[in-house]
DNA sequence: TCTGGGGTCCTAGGACCC
DNA sequence: TCTGGGGTCCTAGGACCC
């Protein structure tokens, strides 16, 4: 029995992160694959070009395979790996079972994608709550999760990363500086490779550097919102409100990377029409109307361009959306081979 | 490692208007 | 007439995240 210093009863944010979620769901469906190198992605055909791994089991990772790697490369690295097609409905179903388990606790649950949730709770023992959540999820779904504990979502999110796999970690304003100050700026949730490099060029290499930086100088370099926000992140601050009402999507999109380039205008137009009709169908199913249509074209080798236009009237009419998308397509210079086409829409938002 | 798909939010610049 | 300044809308692109 370990003893912890007791905490006062107060509000905490927990971040629950399912470990290796997609791979774990696939292993549950195919128990005979446990302990084997498994790669999930695309239609599961590793010879298909321009398809990448959604995830890889630890056994596959030992061969240097990781998510985002082309399946053809993964096959070369591990010819014995088992390749499975991605099955989003199965992951959605598993995710809903997990979220239902979390909601049985006396907490507030904010779903954050398939494999994550933020929990708002009032307790004097957040570690005990975290362990209870882990036990319940494991008992009811056979899935393992890591739990981060923080004063806000940013801290809790980073803490769950430190807790992996299957652990519990507390990162609050009390130990923030001790744990985070020496780390590179891209350890923060919201600062990636590009911004980290730009910060380094300003002499800001660590979280401590960024926390001590001049907000006005950051605003000059990164804009009035982003610049000060980065410093705010470095100080360990972040959103602390858990929203339990379902998220209302801002928009929706469908895109396709073709295994081989398209050059024929008629064929390109046919694909854009189909994508637009698909998006229109999705919008109608969701009971939403569209206010803006965007078309995305990725040319060979990897040059991406977008064009968009606002509709005069919101609609989910497939003919209007398809006609609009095809008209937008005409604004592209289509002399180069095309490897990807996409159609995206912005929805009208309900009045607040 | 020739590089998926689906999202969100921010920024910059041009058009247009007063 | 060689030339303002602010506000708003729209578009294109970028960065980040899962």
Domains of chain A: 7-174 (3.30.70.270), 177-234 (1.10.150.20), 251-347 (3.30.1490.100)
Q: Is the shortest CB-to-strand distance from A45 to strand B under 7 Å?
A: no
CB A345 within 8 A of CB A287: no
Q: Quickly give A214 CA vs C5 C1' distance in Å.
A: 30
Coil vs helix vs strand at A256: strand
Span A245-291, pLDDT tens digits: 999 999 999 999 999 999 999 999 999 999 999 999 999 999 999 99
Span A7-41, pLDDT tens digits: 889 999 999 999 999 999 999 999 999 999 999 99
Whether pLDDT at A46 is above 70: yes
pLDDT score at A4: 67
Q: What strands, in cross-sheet order, belong to the sheet with A55-56?
A: A55-56, A38-40, A82-84
Mean pLDDT of A202-211: 97
Which pair of tokens denotes residue A65?
Answer: 């395979």
pLDDT score at A326: 97
CB A123 within 8 A of CB A12: yes
Distances (CA, A) of A211 to A139, A155, A236, A281, A304: 42, 15, 9, 47, 35
Q: Quickly give A137 CA vs B15 C1' distance in Å.
A: 55
Mean pLDDT of A60-78: 94
**Catalytic site includes residue A116:** yes
pLDDT score at A1: 55
CB A250 within 8 A of CB A336: no
Helices (H), A62-113: 71-77, 88-103
Mean pLDDT of A83-107: 96
Residues with Cβ < 8 Å from A121, sequence gap 6 or more?
A11, A12, A14, A105, A106, A107, A108, A129
**Strand C nucleotides where any atom sits below 7 Å of a protein CB:** 10-18
Q: In A19-135, which ranges are E strands? A: 38-40, 55-56, 82-84, 108-111, 116-123
Q: Quickly give A201 CA vs C3 C1' distance in Å.
A: 39
The residue from A116, A178, A241, A289 that is catalytic is: A116
A311 HSE (CA, 13 A, CB side): 21
Find residues whose C-beta atom lies within 7 angstroms of strand C: A 112-116, 157, 186, 188-196, 292, 294, 304-310, 331
Whether pLDDT at A59 is above 60: yes
pLDDT score at A350: 83
| DSSP secondary structure letter of residue A184 | B
Residue with nearest Cα to nucleotide C14 C1': A194
Mean pLDDT of A60-75: 93
Q: Quickly give A159 CA vs B10 C1' distance in Å.
A: 27
Mean of per-residue pLDDT scores for chain A: 95
User: If pLDDT is split at 50, 70 and 90, which confidence band does A295 have?
Assistant: very high
Q: Is the shortest CB-to-strand distance from A70 to strand B under 7 Å?
A: yes
Give residue for tokens 């024929």: A264
pLDDT score at A7: 80
Q: Is the shortest CB-to-strand distance from A256 to strand B under 7 Å?
A: yes
Whether pLDDT at A5 is above 90: no
Please give the Cα distance from A291 to A282 (Å, whole number).
Answer: 14
pLDDT score at A152: 98
pLDDT score at A113: 92
Mean pLDDT of A320-328: 97
Instruction: Select from A185, A118, A110, A180 the least CA-distant residue to A149.
Output: A118
Mean pLDDT of A238-251: 96
pLDDT score at A12: 98
User: If pLDDT is split at 50, 70 and 90, which confidence band does A2 have?
Assistant: low
Residues with Cβ < 8 Å from A49, sequence gap 6 or more?
A70, A72, A259, A260
């Amino acid at each position: 029995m370990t003893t912890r210093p007791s905490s006062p009863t107060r509000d905490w944010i927990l971040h629950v992160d399912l470990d290796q979620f997609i791979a774990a769901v696939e292993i549950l469906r195919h128990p005979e694959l446990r302990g084997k190198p498994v790669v999930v992605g695309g239609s599961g055909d590793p010879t298909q070009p321009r398809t990448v791994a959604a995830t890889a089991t630890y056994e596959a990772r030992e061969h240097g395979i990781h998510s985002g790697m082309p399946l053809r490369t993964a096959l070369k690295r591990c010819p014995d790996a088992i390749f499975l097609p991605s099955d989003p409905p199965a992951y959605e179903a598993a995710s809903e079972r997990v979220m239902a388990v979390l909601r049985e606790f006396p907490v507030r649950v904010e779903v954050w994608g398939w494999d994550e949730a933020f929990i708002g709770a009032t307790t004097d023992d957040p570690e005990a709550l975290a362990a209870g959540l882990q036990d319940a999820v494991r008992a009811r779904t056979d899935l393992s999760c890591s739990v981060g504990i923080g004063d806000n979502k940013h801290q809790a999110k980073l803490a769950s990363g430190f807790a992996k796999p299957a652990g519990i970690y507390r990162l609050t304003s009390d130990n923030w500086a001790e744990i985070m100050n020496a780390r590179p700026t891209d350890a923060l949730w919201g600062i990636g490779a590009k911004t980290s490099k730009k910060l380094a060029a300003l002499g800001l290499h660590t979280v401590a550097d960024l926390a001590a930086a001049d907000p006005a100088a950051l605003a000059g370099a990164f804009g009035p919102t982003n610049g000060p926000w980065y410093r705010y992140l470095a100080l360990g601050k972040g959103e602390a409100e858990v929203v339990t009402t379902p998220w209302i999507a801002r928009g929706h999109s469908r895109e396709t990377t073709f295994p081989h380039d398209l050059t024929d205008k008629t064929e390109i137009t046919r694909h854009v029409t189909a994508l637009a009709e698909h998006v229109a169908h999705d919008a109608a199913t969701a009971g939403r109307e569209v206010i803006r249509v965007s078309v995305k074209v990725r040319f060979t080798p990897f040059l991406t361009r977008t064009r968009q236009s606002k509709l005069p009237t919101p609609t989910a009419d497939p003919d209007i959306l398809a006609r609009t998308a095809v008209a937008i397509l005409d604004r592209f210079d289509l002399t180069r081979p095309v490897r990807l086409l996409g159609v995206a829409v912005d929805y009208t938002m309900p009045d607040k």
